[in-house]
Structure 1
Amino acid sequence: MMEEKTLLIVEDDRPLRERLARAMETRGFIVTIAEGVAEGKARAKEAPPAYAVCDLKLEDGNGLDVVETLHTVRPDCRVVVLTGFGNIATAVAAVKYGAVDYLPKPADADDITAALLAAPGSKPKPPENPMSADRVRWEHIQRVYELCGHNVSETARRLNMHRRTLQRILAKRSPR
């Protein structure tokens, strides 16, 4: 485990970024924050951190670009990727880029700390409140909808679903 507790947080959601920074500082981390990919890469190059928490989908690009830069400038950096759109493909990609864990939002500061400080090769505990099947389905539909550029007809075609059925699902709130 690293003695140095420098932490880079790359998150475009300002309230979440500031709340997480304060929580991690109370846990003994020396925190640096960034809003997007460009700023995250710049901060990583200026002072390579021992730890990082990076959002997957940032306004100016993909957080995996920051993860890649972090591992270029500091190969032993332990990175946790956060995302509001969890799916298997992005989780695998995050691990391939060098992330030690992949957590869905909203992630608790205790969960993030545990993931950052976990012994290499240790298995994470199963989630206490896993997503319901309805929520997983909704997340998948939202992800495909986003990948199709918010085109309802294209999304319905790719999901093999009637367009009106999809419109009704998209109009509802997300399930718990």
Structure 2
Amino acid sequence: MASILLLEDSPTVSDPLRSLLENDGHKVAVCQDAASAIAFIDRNETLDLALVDYWLEQGTAETVLTTLHDKRPDVRVVLITGGSRDVSVETTQWLGALDGIDGFLQKPFSRREIQAIIRQFCG
């Protein structure tokens, strides 16, 4: 069982994804903005994986990625996004190649794809 942080500002994405992950036996914390994600990171010692939507309604997840990189380099990070704000998927994938990013999932993704990511990074 993995401890997973899901940073996703859209409940239409986060609710079913949380259900899927919890049904697979994982502990999932959902945050809808960068500030709550950073607070979660600061107060939780057990965290195996962060699934991070980079393009948020109120900006980007850049501060969350920096916090994870600086304070929790042991946590695997996967960007989940479909691109937005007139930014191409290619640009979003380039962001995924940045230091500290372990994987990339493009929305919409399948149950099989997310389960493969979990197996890859959490065993």
TM-score tier by shorter-chain length is: 0.7 to 0.9
Asked whether the equivalents of residues 82 and 89 of structure 2 are also in contact (C-alpha less than 8 Å), the reply is: no
Shift of 1:90: 2.6
Report the RMSD for the aligned CA atoms in angstroms: 1.8
- Mean CA deviation greater in 84-93 or 30-39: 84-93
> Distance in 2 between the 1:95 and 1:42 partners?
25
Aligned residue pairs, count: 116
Structure 2 runs not aligned, ≥5 long: none
Asked whether the 8 Å contact 2:76–2:102 carries over to 1, the reply is: yes
Kindly indicate whether the alpha-carbon contact (under 8 Å) linking 1:80 and 1:116 is maintained by their aligned counterparts in 2.
no
The aligned counterpart of 1:78 is: 76
Which runs of structure 2 are paired with 1:86-125 in the superposition (5 Å)?
A: 87-118=89-120
> Which structure is higher in RCO with an 8 Å CA cutoff and minimum separation 6?
2
CA deviation string 1:4-34 (max 9, x = no partner): 6100000000121111011001112111110
Q: Provide TM-score, normalisation by structure 1.
A: 0.59
Cα separation, 2, equivalents of 1:61 and 1:40: 14
Q: 1:98 to 1:113 in 2, by over 3 A?
A: farther
- Higher strand fraction (1 or 2): 2
Instruction: Determine helix, strand or coil for the equivalent of 1:42.
Output: helix
CA–CA separation in structure 1 for the residues paired with 2:120 and 2:28: 19
Structure having the larger proportion of residues in helix: 1
How many percent of aligned residue pairs carry the same amino acid? 28
Shift of residue 113, structure 1, vs aligned partner: 2.7
Output the amino acid matched with 1:95.
A
Q: Please give the residue correspondences for 1:28-107 in structure 2 after superposition, counting only pairs within 5 Å.
A: 28-48=25-45, 49-85=47-83, 87-107=89-109
Please report how far the alpha carbon of residue 67 of structure 1 lies from its aligned counterpart in structure 2 after TM superposition. Answer: 2.1
Instruction: Give 4+ residue runs of structure 1 displaced > 4 Å after superposition.
Output: none
What residue ranges of structure 1 are gaps of 5+ in the alignment? 120-176
Among 9, 13, 21, the residue aligned to 1:16: 13
Q: Residue deviations 1:128-152, cap 9 Å, x none?
A: xxxxxxxxxxxxxxxxxxxxxxxxx
Kept in 1, the 8 Å contact 2:4–2:49? The answer is: yes
Q: Return the alpha-carbon distance in structure 2 between the equivalents of residues 33 and 53 of structure 1.
A: 10
Shift of 1:79: 1.4
Q: TM-score, normalised by structure 2?
A: 0.82
1:80 is displaced (CA, Å) by 1.2
